Structure 1
């Protein structure tokens, strides 16, 4: 018995000692929380967690109430007695606007209210409720990202007057932009499975300090689901399955994911498959958008078929498969390893805007298809925490490999030659990021980055009458490379809760190499190789000042850049009917200089007004302009005499805008939100100034949302202003076939609106049903610059079952 009492004494003592030392973590990310204030009711006893989220509770009694308070998390109450031997306490992030946590601003967690720039956050609950078909649709739901679509399998974001290769996309902190990201509309964002995303952050404005080249107009950061370890000795198993159907495109989507969590290991598998039919447009709108006929390839030749329902956009259907596999290993509380594998593939899908072009009264193309768009990524991230290192408190090392594959297949109506062009990019990247708390008031972030891209490109002509294939000019110089090396640093100084100052610098050095030997047998360029080197120093400085609980001011100034890539210096393609873009080896980086002023008025969360205005000056802008090749202004390309053009540092641009957001809480369950963006801008074209191509029309949305424990309703409107003929950029006027016609017969982009209703009901703890009726009034419209008309009246039904 004596031994039993001794054993019991030591067991109880060890449990109590363990309970006296706790570790405070974020409930979602499981990251330790630094600076959590721990105190009792009268605040006579207090502690603060260290860099590892650790603190001692020895000064507190077993039964007294202990409060845990952190700026960006919900206040929590505990007692040592209720801990029952556990030494881990989880705090929930406060998702009420200013208190959100964001990662993209420094690659480490920060409170959103501390960031001088404007960042949109879309969490997992919002993603589940929005129920987007693609990640482009997810971005559009924010009301602050404008989406252009050239086809159903598309979605090219526009942010504050910038688009495509002037915006940066990252997945789990890995840069997705590669050496052939182009200035034309870019559809790569659809490779990201929206059903795998845990949260998305969109930085409005420059992000070159952290992300380097291309991050001029904004950064779209997608963070996918994280494998969860088990906090007990039992296996943690969680699984979800989702099925969805949409009427406008006859969409059929199925998805499943499951998590296997052990004490130190966790695995997550995620698979989605979508099949889309031809998209049906609305009944009320411009007749120019209708599809009265389409080309059909038959065994006896090409024929024009009358479309028995002109609202159906033939042929736009396609299918897509997304697979994600993740593994997490946590050998200790201060060290973790994360491996992610991603694979996306599509079927062939038509580029719809090219299929509706006419030439001499007849459809120009019999075929214009993108081949399967394939994307593979593997990334390994190692995270180390330390409370005694002089160099860092957190360090993240990320190494990634990506492979991009895309192709184009086009043939003119009744032509025997089919043009085949295939591209692939191998992209390697390495990032080393550090965070160091210099004091309770300041933090230092710094890191290094290296990127290497290898481009493979092939061109062929297939004679369908003889089934013979011969080589021809490729889209890019085969074997070309693009590499970037950078070092960056930023500092945050927060002397008190009212004021934050952040500033940073980045130096980038970019090298491009291209060999045109293969293509010169077709183009006869005045050079065989191109070697481009450029260095860029960019900086940012911003403040956040909250003089009282109502007002919050934000002021930010920044510079950003985009270095010429292989698409700029080496591309050969038909930019428009009768025009061909050729290589140019004499390019420099373009620079953007901008400022932003923001004001938020928060009347005790009952009424919140969020306003911001910005201005950006783009210098040495890389734009497509007329060019000469060996003194010639026209050359033969794909059998057609075409005007010669090239990417050149031939312009400047001035872009400005104003954004306003409103949130009004009528009751705990009913609230109104609204967002509206005004964008304008001009650029130089020769001796005149013309509208900027990617400045979207003024647009916005308004939502009336009711929610309680099990049900949620959202009645909302999306709306978009007109862009008249005189407000269209010249390159858009060239594409008049995608636009409506005004009273004078000139192309223009009409205004439009949609009324929509969405609801979600939690049938049980394991089952959720989501239903939407979009475009209730069946409007026929196109988002600006889009080749394909948007969906007409669309009923979407989704069912989610969880284990």
Structure 2
């Protein structure tokens, strides 16, 4: 009997203790938050959560307000009475957290405060709240990355006056840029599924020391979700389903992911499907953007048809399927293996800016489609920790294979000839990265890299009347290759908490080989092969100085380069109506030299101001200019007499800018934030100065965010200045069909703004609703250089259910 009472008393104590315990979790990841300070108003009672996110609230009364504070999360207040029987508190991540970790600066984890460059961090919670259509929209939402769109299935980022192949994209540390990344607008970033992203880091400015060629204007690093193992002997299972609908494009999206976790093994599967209809533009804005008519393809031939609703941009809809499978294996505490498999495919989608061109009074093209954009990547990463090696504390080996497939199909109005060009790239990469603490205050990062790209390219002419196909000139020399080998090192010296110095060097050697034998039967080039070799030594040096808790200075200087790739050397394509780009085997690397000065003022978290200015000089710039082929300035291409152009080292440019952002916590629940970017620059050729093509107009956003318990609301404005006719680059003026017309009939990019509202409510532990009303005043606008008008008034509704 005594034993019975003793056991009963023991269980009662355990039950009572359980009732007094609280578990603090991240509201998005549902992971425990360690080190949360829990206290009352006068701080006479306090406790801290343990590694499991647990703490006892037994000292607190039911009615007093309890505060939950953590450096990387938003302050939360609640009473025990409000908690009721619920033993969980969810904290919302705070991206201004002092201990925010970034990986992109060295490929290993570092405190963001130590990095002398400006890095934007976007976490999964922010992405879920923003409800982006594509990963390009994820970047645009930062207010510091400008996005151009030629079609609905597009999104070409611009960062600090640079774009396309002068920016680098990585996924889980693997370089996405390949040998045919072009200077024209790119949409490869949409292959990255926003639902799979755990964190995105955007480095503003050069990243050449760590990433090599192309990382001139910035690096966009996407890190996808990681499988989670079980902390017990039982299976750890977690799953999420998301459905979303948007009115402007009649979007229907579905997503599911699930995690299976064991002690040493973990598996994560993600599946997403998007179905976008034709995009509706706003009702109020330039009439130049309207779609009054389009081409209908009938059995009787091509017919011009009046659009019964000129606000609907006909034939812009498309579908996309994204798959991700991850496997994590950790046989020992100091050794882990991570395998990632990615596959994304789209339907055919129209290049809208080419479908709105006119030839005299009729539309020029009956068809202009990109074929399916397919991307596959397999990525194996092995990470080893060691406390005994003289060479490293952590070593990471990454082996990856990627396959890119894209195609173009175009046919003129009432023509029987359809031009088809298919491209594919096999991209192999190997990276070996090391981290070593040389002393208490000094840390060394170093590594080696090898890349190999193989390009396949074919051209065909299809006669749709006779159903016959004949070969024609391909876009790239078939079988060409691009290789890169590099070694880099970076050192961080941190003598105290106030000062950090970082510096690095990288040596890169790049070889491109192209064989034009197949294309010479159509082009008659004065050469059959082309080989370019380039070597580059780039460096960076920067400091972060925080003389007091209020003030933080950042100063950084760097050099960067971009070596010619197969797109530069061997491309053949119609750059604009009446012009054709031909190969050029006499190219050198372009180099950039720049500096950045940043200042951050933090007045005890009551007001935070972050400003930075930068300057970049680009030398030997690779640009498209008029050219001659065998002494001729014009040749026949796709049945049309066209001016000859080629990529050339024919320019230099000076780009400068200023960025400012602030955060004002009005109350514990209400925050005002704003971001504004100013970009300018000039390009010089033969002594003549002109505007830089990818210098975006001044742009920014302002957000008023309210957060309380399970509710988050955001009222925000997005705005964009005008670029007048005189501020447009010559290559943009040539594309006058995508622009509005000023009072003199010249193309220009008008200013615009949108007013928006979004909200998120966590109905229960398992159910979250997110709703947005974008462009409330139904403005009709285009982001600079875009061929397609942006969405008009758009209602987006998303439902997430978690297990």
- TM-score, reference length from structure 2: 0.89
Equivalent pairs counted in the alignment come to 737
Aligned to 2:437: 437
Which structure 2 residues correspond to residues 115-514 of structure 1 after superposition, within 5 A?
Answer: 115-514=115-514
Offset at residue 708 of structure 1 (A): 1.1
- Write out aligned runs for 1:45-56 (5 A): none
CA spacing shift, 1:30–1:546, aligned 2, 3 Å: farther
Deviation at 1:481, TM superposition (A): 0.1
CA 1:438/1:418 → structure 2, altered by over 3 Å: closer, same or farther? same
Cα 1:753/1:336, change in 2 over 3 Å: same
Within 2, Cα distance between the matches of 1:674 and 1:71? 21
1:61-140 to 2 correspondence within 5 Å? 95-140=95-140
- Equivalence map 1:557-636=2 (5 Å): 557-636=557-636
Instruction: Give me the whole-angstrom Cα distance separating, in 2, the residues matched to 1:191 and 1:393.
Output: 35
Shift of 1:687: 2.6
Q: Equivalent residue for 1:728?
A: 728
| Equivalent residue, structure 2, for 1:20 | none
Does the CA contact (< 8 Å) of 1:714 and 1:758 recur in 2?
A: yes
Q: CA deviation at 1:95?
A: 3.9
Residues 71 and 111 in structure 1, CA contact (< 8 A), matched pair in contact too: no
Change (3 A) 1:479 1:29: farther
Contact 1:93–1:100 (Cα < 8 Å) also in 2:
no
In structure 2, the partner of 1:517 is 517
CA displacement at 1:98 relative to structure 2 = 3.8
Q: How far 1:96 moved relative to its partner?
A: 2.6
Partners of 2:71 and 2:532 in 1: how far apart?
Answer: 47
Q: 1:27 to 1:240 in 2, by over 3 A?
A: closer
**1:668 correspondence with 2:673:** no
What is the Cα deviation at residue 525 of structure 1? Answer: 0.2
Shift of 1:136: 0.3
1:442 is displaced (CA, Å) by 1.1
SS in 2 for 1:518: coil
Q: Deviations over 1:15-56 (max 9, x none)?
A: xxxxxxxxxxx999999x9xx9xxxxxxxxxxxxxxxxx9xx
Give unpaired runs (5+ residues) of structure 1: 1-25, 37-53, 55-68, 76-90
1:324 Cα deviation after fit: 0.2
Contact 2:424 2:455 in 1 (8 A): yes
Partner deviation per Cα, 1:492-532 (whole Å, 9 max, x = no partner): 00000000000000000000000000000000000000000
CA distance in 1, matches of 2:796, 2:431: 41
Measured at CA, do residues 641 and 74 of structure 1 come closer, stay the same or move farther in structure 2, by a change above 3 Å?
closer
Q: Does 1:647 align with 2:647?
A: yes
Alpha carbons of structure 1 residues 726 and 168: separation in structure 2 relative to 1, 3 Å: same
Deviation at 1:736, TM superposition (A): 0.2
Q: Residue 649 and residue 544 in structure 1: after superposition, are their counterparts in 2 closer, same or farther (change >3 A)? A: same
Q: CA deviation at 1:296?
A: 1.0
CA distance in 2 between counterparts of 1:432 and 1:276 reads 41
CA distance in 1, matches of 2:268, 2:323: 11
Separation in 2, partners of 1:445, 1:645 = 43
| Structure-2 separation of matches of 1:532 and 1:612 | 38
2: distance between equivalents of 1:429 and 1:445? Answer: 19
Paired residues of 2:72 and 2:96 also in contact (CA < 8 A):
no
Q: Deviations over 1:628-682 (max 9, x none)?
A: 1000000000000000000000000000000000100011100000000000001
Q: Contact between 1:72 and 1:101, CA under 8 Å: does it hold in 2?
A: no
How far does residue 366 in structure 1 lie from its aligned partner after superposition?
0.2
TM-fit CA distance, 1:93: 8.6
SS in 1 for 2:368: strand
Q: Give the 3 Å change call, closer, same or farther, for CA 714–673 of structure 1 in structure 2.
A: same
> Partners in 2 of 1:217 and 1:94 — Cα distance?
27
Match of 2:4 in 1: none
CA contact (8 A) 1:116 1:556 kept: yes
CA distance in 2, matches of 1:265, 1:102: 26
Could you tell me whether the CA contact under 8 Å between 2:255 and 2:273 is conserved in 1?
A: yes
Q: CA deviation at 1:684?
A: 1.4
Q: For 1:211-253, what per-residue CA distance to the aligned partner results, in whole angstroms no more than 9, with x for missing partners?
A: 0000000000000000000010110000000000000000000
Alignment-derived partner of residue 775 in structure 1: 775
Q: Residue 659 of structure 1 aligns with which residue?
A: 659
- Tell me, in whole angstroms, the C-alpha distance in 2 between the residues paired with 1:419 and 1:737: 22
- What is the alpha-carbon distance in structure 2 between the residues aligned to residue 323 and residue 427 of structure 1? 19
Distance 1:242 1:27, change over 3 A: closer
- Any idea what SS the aligned residue of 1:113 has? helix
Runs of 5+ in structure 2 lacking a partner? Answer: 1-25, 36-50, 52-68, 76-90
Aligned to 2:40: none
- Displacement of 1:762 after TM fit? 0.4
Q: Equivalents in 2 of 1:223, 1:184: separation in Å? A: 26
In the alignment, the residues of structure 2 paired with residue 385 and residue 726 of structure 1 have an alpha-carbon distance, to the nearest angstrom, of 57
Root-mean-square deviation (Å): 2.5
Aligned to 1:801: 801
SS in 1 for 2:280: coil
CA distance in 2, matches of 1:156, 1:72: 31
Q: Is 1:752 the equivalent of 2:752?
A: yes
Structure 2 CA distance, aligned partners of 1:443 and 1:95? 25
Displacement of 1:685:
2.9
Shift of residue 379, structure 1, vs aligned partner? 0.3
Question: How far 1:99 sits from its partner (Å)?
Answer: 2.6
Secondary structure in structure 2 of the residue aligned to 1:690: strand
Other structure's SS at 1:137 match: helix
Q: Secondary structure at the match of 2:625?
A: strand
Distance 1:94 1:502 in 2: 26
Distance 1:259 1:721 in 2: 45
Q: How many angstroms apart in 2 are the aligned matches of 1:721 and 1:337?
A: 48
Matched, 1:535 2:535: yes
- What's the CA shift for 1:260? 0.1
Q: Specify the SS of the correspondent of 1:517.
A: coil
Supply the distance in 2 between the matched residues of 1:231 and 1:421 (Cα, whole angstroms): 52
**Distance of 1:529 and 1:114 partners within structure 2:** 47
Q: How far off is 1:300 after superposition?
A: 1.0
Match of 1:18 in 2: none
With over 3 angstroms needed to count, the CA separation of the structure-2 counterparts of 1:712 and 1:252, relative to structure 1, is: same
Contact 2:28–2:125 (Cα < 8 Å) also in 1: no
C-alpha offsets along residues 520-556 of structure 1, whole Å, 9 cap, x if unaligned?
Answer: 0000000000000000000000000000000000000
Q: Distance in 1 between matches of 2:326 and 2:99?
A: 29
